[in-house]
Structure 1
Amino acid sequence: MRGLLAVALAKRIGQPLTVEVAREVVAECLPDLSMGAVAVERRGDLVFQAEQLGPDPAAGELAAQRLRFLEETLPPGVPAHVQWDELRQIERSGQLLILTVRRDGLLLGSVWLNLYQDLNTGEPVACDDMLFMEQGARGGMVVVHLWRYAERVLEQLGRVQMSCHSREANNAGRLARFVGGQITHTGFSKRIGCGQERAQRAGKD
């Protein structure tokens, strides 16, 4: 990233740093992941494809679906405050891939994947940021087909491993096991510095 920025700025030595020039530099350093590199697949009336956040990342179907996901997964009392501009920049850098499944144009679900290099092995890998299915699309094989599609896309992009988070609240671990995933670690989270720890201790006394 620093190298790309240095080259982009060097090309423009002597130019006034206008808003337009700044946009050119950002676009050069953070190129969009080519959607043409991701194949669209059809299975019956289902369409699987890659999609991107729009110019206003907080608007549109993908943003609305992410907010519904957060309503179900954030701890009680913790409000959603999505950093939409940061998400869009990460997406433009090629480090976030959003895959969706639709039926007759209706968005049924999506999986958001972080793409990165494992610092311990040097391998190109992926990890889910979120996986969400609308209520009417749960309980069947649609989510399995979406997951399998994600695996094929990641393989096509040269990723050698896909990791996922299984939330206790929705028992998503069943899906991971069904598609051949293996348990590699157990994760824990704890809210600190916001009075909740004191309240939890008081409840145990």
Structure 2
Amino acid sequence: MGEQLTVELATAIAREASPASPIEAGRFPLEVFADYRFRCERLRDASEELEQQRLAYLAETRPSDAIRVDWNRLNELQRLGEHVIFTARHRATGAIVGSLWLFVGCDLDTGIYSVTDDMLYVVPAHRDGLLGVRLVQYGERCIVALGVRSATFHFRLENGADRMARFLGYEAISTRVTKTHAGDSFADVPTRHKGSTHDSFL
């Protein structure tokens, strides 16, 4: 009371109203697959490597977009237990060569504890084997132990990830579409007749 309401003070008040309940990385066992070690990691604990993973993923999947990642928001979601990251580190070098990022929460319609994917990325030099598949399976084991009973992933079509989805047992139930407009006028928004260079399927 009596203090000037600054951004910092407002943030502190918001955090007080939303107490932290992060998903603790240490609750999940480490697993080894071939030359890799799987584990759960917090963004704040491996920020530089994980930021590089995300930026590489975005450069590959959204090359024409202006990227402005809200790292503070991602850290806040992890603080609230609404986001989790599973990583694959190369056993010889210790470098992160793959990561699975998931949003965690309850389905508003069913109340079931569920996850949706934020991103899945494996560096190109390590894509020849089953690393992506094994990393997803590791993440699945961890989130099921956490109480999650439903998972929804968006696999991109251009890189053949839909085949991996079928291998993992996921069932296609919808087609996800996106439309991007960078202008200021709704009249310029792409339609079937006007077309768009940004039309794509995710």
Taking structure 2 as the reference length, the TM-score comes to 0.81
| Deviation (angstroms), 1:90 | 0.6
Pick from 32, 36, 44 the counterpart of residue 26 of structure 2: 36
Q: Which has the larger share of helix?
A: 1
1:139 aligns with 2:132: no
For residue 59 of structure 2, what is the aligned residue in structure 1? Answer: 71
Structure 2 CA distance for aligned equivalents of residues 128 and 189 of structure 1: 16
1:201 aligns with 2:194: yes
For residue 171 of structure 2, what is the aligned residue in structure 1? Answer: 182
Runs of 4+ in 1 over 3 A off after TM superposition: 14-25
Structure 1 CA distance for aligned equivalents of residues 97 and 11 of structure 2: 37
Other structure's SS at 2:177 match: coil
Other structure's SS at 1:29 match: coil
Number of aligned residues: 187
For residue 158 of structure 2, what is the aligned residue in structure 1? Answer: 169
In the alignment, structure 2 segments of 5+ residues that lack a partner are: 197-202
Other structure's SS at 1:49 match: strand
In the alignment, structure 1 segments of 5+ residues that lack a partner are: 1-13
Structure 1 CA distance for aligned equivalents of residues 189 and 156 of structure 2: 21
State the AA in 2 paired with 1:26: R
The root-mean-square deviation of aligned C-alpha atoms, in Å, is 2.9
| Deviation (angstroms), 1:21 | 11
Other structure's SS at 2:178 match: coil
Structure 2 CA distance for aligned equivalents of residues 158 and 125 of structure 1: 8
Taking structure 1 as reference, are residues 20 and 42 closer, same or farther at Cα in structure 2, changes over 3 Å only? farther
Identical positions, percent: 31
Other structure's SS at 1:89 match: helix
Taking structure 1 as the reference length, the TM-score comes to 0.80
Structure 2 CA distance for aligned equivalents of residues 115 and 90 of structure 1: 9
State the AA in 2 paired with 1:68: A
Pick from 68, 84, 92 the counterpart of residue 79 of structure 2: 92
For residue 199 of structure 2, what is the aligned residue in structure 1? Answer: none
For residue 4 of structure 1, what is the aligned residue in structure 2? Answer: none
Structure 1 CA distance for aligned equivalents of residues 11 and 116 of structure 2: 31
Deviations 1:118-152 (CA, angstroms, capped at 9, x unpaired)? 11111001111000000111131111110110110
Structure 2 CA distance for aligned equivalents of residues 21 and 84 of structure 1: 18
Pick from 32, 35, 44 the counterpart of residue 54 of structure 1: 44
Deviations 1:91-126 (CA, angstroms, capped at 9, x unpaired)? 111010000011121211000001011111110011
Structure 1 CA distance for aligned equivalents of residues 68 and 56 of structure 2: 13
Are 2:22 and 2:82, in contact at CA under 8 Å, matched by a contact in 1? no
